[in-house]
Amino acid sequence: MRAYGKFVLSMFVAGFLVVAPIYLAALLLLKALKSLIGLVQPIAKLLPAWLPGEQLLALLLILILCFLTGVAMRTRIGHAIWGHIEKALFQRIPGYALFRSLAQRMAGESEETAWKPALAEIEEALVPAFIIEELDDGRFTVFVPSVPTPFAGAIYILTPDRVHPLDVPFTQAVKVISRWGSGCKDLVAAMEQKGR
């Protein structure tokens, strides 16, 4: 019964970590749309009555704002300003660094070593894992996800001979885990190719 309770709790936490950011993003988008509708009303009156002009223009304005913010982030000044805001505000929020790292990995933009796909030797088996960090003595902190939820699992500290980093995209490793191991042959092939 205790194992069942632990399973239910871990599945709840894993689901929450996926659903909560999506829900919060949707709420934020709806709040922004509602705030901008008053701003775009004069322009929306010029559009045909059958077209939901206010909502479309507000959404277009949000998309343009997101695009311009992305462009500004690519500049040196924009990057420096964001770095300052992030250090002063966001990094104080628990879990922010984790979600930021995961989002960058999913987008293929991360150059960090955190969340690097690997195969780890646990007991007598190879298991899909992610390298979280390398310790000063050369050992690795490794996260071994539970199937089929890639963001819940166990943490191990392993010697380098038991950790085999893989040259595969983060998203490929996540797919293998969420598909109950289907595709592990590609991970093993990547490990064996690196060993040659």
Q: Are residues 87 and 122 in the same domain?
A: no
Q: Are residues 143 and 76 in the same domain?
A: no
126-176 pLDDT, tens digit per residue, is 888 888 888 999 899 998 888 777 777 888 999 999 998 888 887 778 788
DSSP secondary structure letter of residue 146? P
Angle at 105 between CA 157 and CA 80, to 5 degrees: 105
Per-residue pLDDT at 91: 66
Q: Are residues 127 and 187 in the same domain?
A: yes
Q: Are residues 69 and 135 in the same domain?
A: no
Q: Are residues 124 and 81 in the same domain?
A: no
Average pLDDT over the chain, rounded to an integer: 77
Q: Which of 92, 125, 152 is the last residue of a domain?
A: 92
Q: Which of 92, 127, 153 is the last residue of a domain?
A: 92
Q: Are residues 187 and 120 in the same domain?
A: yes
35-77 pLDDT, tens digit per residue, is 877 777 777 677 777 777 677 888 888 888 888 888 887 888 8
Residue 44 lies in a domain: yes
Q: Are residues 121 and 173 in the same domain?
A: yes
Q: Which of 77, 92, 107 is the last residue of a domain?
A: 92
Q: Are residues 34 and 69 in the same domain?
A: yes
pTM of the predicted model as reported, rounded to 2 decimal places: 0.50
Q: Are residues 71 and 146 in the same domain?
A: no
Domain with 144 in it: 116-195
pLDDT above 60 (res 109): no
Q: Are residues 62 and 124 in the same domain?
A: no
Distance CA 11, CA 13 (A): 5
Per-residue pLDDT at 30: 79
- What strands lie across the sheet with 153-158, from one edge to the other? 153-158, 140-145, 125-134, 116-122, 163-165
Number of structural domains in the chain: 2
Residue 109 lies in a domain: no
Per-residue pLDDT at 110: 52
Q: Are residues 80 and 145 in the same domain?
A: no
Three-class DSSP category at 50: coil
